[in-house]
Every structure is written in structure tokens, then in C-alpha cells.
Structure 1
């Protein structure tokens, strides 16, 4: 009968061995020139497909500038009430202080 500690140790050994095998497989794959060339070819094919798809698409229409730029509207906030509008109009109608 194995104790719990022995089972845990055995499991850790298996995990370590599996990890080392996976790393070794990955290193082999990365070192293989045929695999690397196939990856480069896949990347080139993907780029070519994107370019071809982009050429098929009609050019985007130019957007027209609006008459009033959004930034020139000041702090938009809420719409003023009738009372506030009346006061603002009265302030605007006052003569210039410097005059």
C-alpha cells in the first residue's frame, strides 16, 4: 500500500515527465526547418488572402465634414430651461461694460 505522500510524489514525477516530453516535442518542432517553412508559408498565404480581399472591396466613401464641428458646441450638458434661456438672452442683450 502506498501512502498519500508517495502517491503525490508519483503524480508529480508523472507530471514532470509529461512536461519535459512536451517541451522536447516543441523544441524539435521549432528546430525542424520543414515545419518552420510551412509556418512561414501559411503566414504569407494569410497575408495574400487579406490583400486580395481588400482589393475586392470598393474604396470607402469619404465622410463629409459637418457644418458645425462637434467640439465647437461647448459643454453640451442638458438643455436649458425657458427661464435659463430668458436670462441668457437678457445677458446677451446688455451693452458691453467697456463701452
Structure 2
């Protein structure tokens, strides 16, 4: 399982660990990933994602999973999230047409 946020695309960053004597050695900065179940209002079901804590705050700030996915470009999303976005778009088109 790769260390990538499924909603924001946030990945591992690399940098230097700097000692008190100013010695530098390479290190990794890992994203704060959590397994979360988010509720989709349009589909009336919960969906499991592995997302960063920052992404979870962003989803809540945007008013839920559905509105976040509609506002986000598909480039950053994982394949699972892109498929969910298409399902939500189809569901909203059916509701608007009716």
C-alpha cells in the first residue's frame, strides 16, 4: 500500500535531518494518513478512503464528500475517488432531470 492520500494526492517528501553539529543526513517526511469512512449524501452509502488528516479537514470544510469531489480536479484524485465522482455526477443528473 503506497503512502499517498486518495483525495489530495499528498505523498512522501524528502529532506535533511540536521543535527546540533549541523551534520546532514537524508530523511523522509510521511503524510499523516488515516483510514476513514465518509458518507456520500447522493449515493446514501459510506465509502472507505485512506486520506491525510489535512484532506479530512478540507472535506468537512467544503460541506461533505460529494461537494468536495465536485469542486476538486480529477488529476489529484485516485482511481477509486474518480469512479465515485462519476457515480455522483450521474446521480445528480438523474435528480435534476426528474
The two structures have a TM-score, normalised by structure 1, of 0.23
The two structures have a TM-score, normalised by structure 2, of 0.23
Q: Which has the higher strand share?
A: 2
* Higher relative contact order, structure no. (Cα contacts within 8 Å, ≥ 6 residues apart): 2
